[in-house]
């Protein structure tokens, strides 16, 4: 249930509500809005304490969240969440952020070269996987910790926060040391121990929708992270599996307005995996911005033909530079900013 506090509630009064929640064995989820503070008390049988909270001086009213996901819902929080990332990057506001870089960190040289060019084109976050979830066990699996060290060094050199994927609980710990955003990939969206681990550490999380995950399941997976106390979650639509096989996946643009209505969390779109064909990535990226995305994640590689992962969908640095200018125009047309 949601406990909405009175406008001028004093700190002591707020604390007494929080203490009461804790004493009952629940975790309080506090959200301070512009005018009012609301506290989520979520868990089995929480509603049975409704009357006793309603009787407290600081409490304005109590409401129940109808949706199965609670903290992720717009019912819990009306204003958009702004996810604060290292180096003053804020995702979820007027500014649209583009995360760009190679699918996988391959060599220091390629990473630095790519970081330099995507930064010059206006990307604000550097992407690069060090632990790669490959369909084949014989395909390049990533550089591991060495790759994370390169990511950290590139972020430092080019003043960009970094995002990289964790596939295991141990990797979450490792990534939280080296990177600024922890990516949970499509294949792990229902790895609940991994989600809980991401929720227990402080770095923001980029949660990618699975290729066979419904919007409701995506939000329930986000709820796992939020329920552990990490409220800095960005959702990512990256294409779902349909009967259509002319493209790698089917980018579900419908998810953008639907998610915007259901949740306050920022929505990032991944046109690279979504369509999987370099030639069409730009077109879909533009559609994503027009549909209301808060950010994009795009794969860029200086030599896609030689790339060890996802070359066919990686843009060349020049293509990315041109695209960013076009995206800026679309962003302005829908009342946002990009460059
Ligand atoms: C990636 O970002 O390179 C990746 C593996 O993404 P996804 O989990 O969406 O397939
Ligand atoms: Mn990839």
Q: What is the pLDDT along the chain (339 residues), one digit of tens a residue?
A: 999 999 988 889 999 999 999 999 999 999 988 788 999 999 989 999 999 999 999 999 999 999 999 999 999 999 999 999 999 999 999 999 999 999 999 999 999 999 999 999 999 999 999 999 999 999 999 999 999 999 999 999 999 999 999 999 999 999 999 999 999 999 999 999 999 999 999 999 999 999 999 999 999 999 999 999 999 999 999 999 999 999 999 999 999 999 999 999 999 999 999 999 999 999 999 999 999 999 999 999 999 999 999 999 999 999 999 999 999 999 999 999 999
Q: Which two tokens stand for residue 28?
A: 């309080």
Q: Which two tokens stand for residue 273?
A: 């995996």
**Overall residue count recorded for the chain in this entry:** 339
Which residues are 63's β-sheet partners?
2
- CA-236 nearest atom, ligand 1: 9
What pLDDT is recorded for position 35? 80
SS3 at position 16: helix
What pLDDT is recorded for position 64? 92
Compute the distance from residue 185 Cα to the ligand 1 centre, in Å.
5
- CA-185 nearest atom, ligand 1: 8
Report the residue among 104, 125, 129 best suited for mutation to probe ligand 1: largest number of ligand atoms under 8 A from its CB. 129
Whole-angstrom CA distances from 246 to 251, 287, 297 are 12, 19, 22
Compute the distance from residue 4 Cα to the ligand 2 centre, in Å.
42
| DSSP calls for 144-174 | THHHHHHHHHHHHHHT--EEEE--SHHHHHH
Alpha-carbon span 49 to 105, nearest angstrom: 51
> Which residue has the CA at smallest separation from atom 1 of ligand 1?
103
What pLDDT is recorded for position 169? 98
Compute the distance from residue 210 Cα to the ligand 1 centre, in Å.
10
Alpha-carbon span 67 to 117, nearest angstrom: 43
Whole-angstrom CA distances from 284 to 22, 94, 169, 218, 267 are 47, 20, 33, 21, 15
Q: Which two tokens stand for residue 238?
A: 């990256």
Compute the distance from residue 104 Cα to the ligand 1 centre, in Å.
10
Alpha-carbon span 51 to 1, nearest angstrom: 12
> Which residue has the CA at smallest separation from atom 4 of ligand 1?
185
- CA-310 nearest atom, ligand 1: 3
End-to-end CA distance of the chain: 41
Q: Which two tokens stand for residue 104?
A: 């996988």
Measured from the alpha carbon of residue 307, the closest ligand is: 2
Ligand 1 binding residues, C-beta < 6 A: 103, 129, 133, 185-187, 208, 238, 270, 273
Find where tokens 């406008």 sit.
7
Q: Of 217, 196, 280, 274, give the one whose Cα is nearest residue 242.
A: 274
Alpha-carbon span 322 to 324, nearest angstrom: 6
Compute the distance from residue 47 Cα to the ligand 1 centre, in Å.
39
The region that residue 311 occupies, defined by phi over 0 for left and psi between -120 and 50 for alpha, beta otherwise, is alpha
């Amino acid at each position: 249930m949601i406990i909405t506090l009175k406008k001028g509630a004093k700190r002591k009064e707020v604390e007494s509500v929080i203490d009461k929640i804790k004493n009952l064995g629940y975790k309080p989820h506090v959200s301070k809005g512009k005018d009012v503070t609301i506290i989520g008390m979520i868990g089995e049988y929480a509603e049975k304490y409704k009357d006793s909270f309603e009787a407290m001086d600081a409490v304005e009213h109590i409401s129940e969240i109808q949706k199965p996901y609670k903290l992720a819902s717009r019912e819990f929080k009306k204003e958009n969440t702004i996810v604060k990332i290292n180096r003053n990057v804020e995702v979820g506001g007027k500014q649209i952020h583009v995360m760009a870089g190679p699918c996988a960190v391959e060599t220091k040289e390629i990473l630095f070269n790519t970081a330099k060019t995507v930064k010059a084109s206006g990307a604000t976050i550097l992407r690069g996987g060090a632990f790669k979830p490959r369909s084949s066990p014989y395909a390049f699996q990533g550089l591991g910790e060495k790759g994370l060290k390169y990511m950290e060094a590139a972020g430092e050199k080019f003043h960009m926060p970094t995002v990289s994927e964790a596939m295991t609980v141990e990797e979450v710990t490792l990534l939280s040391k080296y990177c600024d955003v922890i990516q949970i990939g499509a294949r792990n969206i229902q790895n609940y121990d991994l989600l809980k681990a991401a929720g227990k550490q402080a770095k923001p999380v980029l949660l990618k929708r699975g290729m066979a995950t419904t919007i409701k399941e995506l939000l329930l997976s986000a709820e796992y992270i939020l329920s552990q106390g990490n409220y800095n979650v960005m959702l990512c639509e990256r294409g779902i599996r349909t009967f259509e096989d002319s493209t790698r996946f089917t980018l579900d643009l419908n998810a953008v307005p639907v998610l915007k209505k259901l949740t306050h969390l920022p929505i990032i779109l991944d046109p690279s995996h979504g369509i999987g064909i370099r030639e069409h990535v730009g077109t879909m990226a533009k559609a994503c911005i027009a549909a209301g995305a808060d950010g994009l994640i795009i794969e860029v590689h200086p030599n896609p033909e030689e790339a060890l992962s996802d070359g066919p969908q990686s843009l060349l640095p020049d293509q990315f530079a041109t695209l960013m200018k076009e995206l800026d125009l679309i962003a302005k047309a829908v009342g946002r900013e990009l460059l």
